[in-house]
Amino acid sequence: MKEKNDSWDWFFTKLRDHVVGVDHQFILLSDRHKSIIQGVPKILPNAVHMYCSYHMSGKFGHKKIKFLVQESAKTLNQQEFWGNMLGIWVLSSKAHEKLMDVGPLEKWASAFQEKSRYGIVTTNHVESWNKMIIGERMMPVTTIVSMIRDNVIRHYRDYRNDSLKFNSPVTTWCQEQIVHNAAVARKCTLERASAGIWSVRGLKRSCVVDLNKRTCTCKWFQTMGIPCEHAMAAIKEVGFDPYKFVEVYYLKETYIETYREEWTPTRGKEEWPTDRQRRRILPPLKTSKAGRPKTARKRGKAEGVPVQSRRCSMCRVRGHNKSTCLECIDDYQLFSHTLFGEGPPLSPVPATI
């Protein structure tokens, strides 16, 4: 179905009514589809709409520019952001101008966004879900729903089992970050400025940590919801528990509560109630184009075109074609010398006994 304004408005309405509510503030990350840009402020006024850095970098063909665009979106430091933008301008002033015309910097650059993104700057997690259900997309609607439900049931079961293996009050990934930052914090020097506020000198920069507000001028603390190495140095200095400064989303209890619900299997179609008076739901209107419909996802410029190796029609070996086939050339040389005396001299053939 074509991604029209009505389709996206319908989706955002269902998202508002059944998932996030009216007053809930959250970050919505997507590509720069016109229908999404128009629909979000209209139906989800409290949502912060930001753009996927992968889709943005895909608008440029230069590999170095793609890399700098993604680094500009990911960095939390404004000085590093402008340094990356300067590198883009040196490579291509047109690319720099095109990037600055995207809109406000807080729409795609983490350094200018006050809301926590938790390090997520792309929609890769959504693409992984699309790949997981690619086999069900061509099935009938009831089959699609059934297969996706079974898939979700398996994931919930696996995640519940994973939560039983946690050896700390937080998730495995969060624990790895805490251990790493604690190790780096040992190399930091710090001075206490006032109650809860510390001046910390790390390996790369000097930062100001406010344990009362749970912030650091490097922005990693408040963005990720986990103490950075600067905050970890201050926490260790005063003897506080670092787990008390981790946001609730990383706690083991939150993880268990998220996947606590068990999905109830549905009965088979033969046991569904029959209602002759039910309203028939028609599919949305669609405009069909000439030719065979495409089933594969439209690839972006950054993904390139899948390349298949050539196969020779003479020897059936991959990597070359008929015109460069050695076997074909040897046969042609023998044919030319035999009939016309032409072609390059043949290599001497040892006599056989």
pLDDT surpasses 60 at 348: no
Q: Please work out, in degrees rounded to the nearest 5, the angle formed at the alpha carbon of residue 20 by the alpha carbons of 14 and 26.
A: 125
Distance in angstroms (rounded) separating the CA atoms of residues 342 and 231? 82
- 341: phi > 0 → left, psi -120 to 50 → alpha, else beta; which? left
Q: Which of 186, 235, 187 is nearest to 211 (CA)?
A: 235
Q: Which of 222, 223, 242 is nearest to 232 (CA)?
A: 242
Q: What is the pLDDT of residue 217?
A: 92
pLDDT surpasses 80 at 196: yes
Query: Which pLDDT band holds residue 152 (cuts at 50, 70, 90)?
Result: confident
Higher model confidence: residue 131 or residue 53? 53
Asked if 60 and 95 count as a contact pair (C-beta separation under 8 A), the reply is yes
The average confidence (pLDDT) of the chain is 82
DSSP per position, 4-45 = -HHHHHHHHHHHIIIII-SS--EEEEE---HHHHHHHHHH-T
DSSP 8-class letter at 219: S
Asked if 156 and 65 count as a contact pair (C-beta separation under 8 A), the reply is no
- pLDDT tens, position by position, 19-72: 888 788 888 888 888 999 999 999 998 888 999 988 888 888 889 999 999 999
Query: Which pLDDT band holds residue 299 (cuts at 50, 70, 90)?
Result: low
Q: Which of 66, 28, 9 is nearest to 304 (CA)?
A: 66
Query: What is the distance between the terminal CA atoms of the chain, rounded to a whole angstrom?
Result: 74
Q: What is the pLDDT of residue 290?
A: 79
Question: Residue 253 in 3-state DSSP?
Answer: helix
Chain centroid, CA 275 distance in Å:
44
DSSP per position, 160-194 = HHHHTT--SSB-HHHHHHHHHHHHHHTT-EEEEEE
Using CA atoms, how far residue 333 sits from 48, 238, 251, in Å, is 71, 86, 75
pLDDT surpasses 70 at 277: no
251 contacts: CB under 8 Å, gap ≥ 6:
169, 170, 171
User: Which residue has tokens 């997981």?
Assistant: 132
Distance in angstroms (rounded) separating the CA atoms of residues 219 and 222? 6
Query: Which pLDDT band holds residue 12 (cuts at 50, 70, 90)?
Result: very high
DSSP 8-class letter at 45: T
Distance in angstroms (rounded) separating the CA atoms of residues 226 and 242? 9
- pLDDT tens, position by position, 216-275: 999 999 989 999 999 999 999 999 999 999 999 999 999 999 998 888 877 777 777 776
What H or E segment, with its residue span, contains residue 91?
Answer: helix 78-91
Distance in angstroms (rounded) separating the CA atoms of residues 296 and 292? 12
Rg of the chain over all Cα atoms, to the nearest angstrom: 30
Asked if 108 and 50 count as a contact pair (C-beta separation under 8 A), the reply is yes
Instruction: Write down the pTM of the prediction.
Output: 0.70
Query: Where along the chain do its domains lie?
Result: 5-126, 133-165, 172-255
Higher model confidence: residue 348 or residue 225? 225
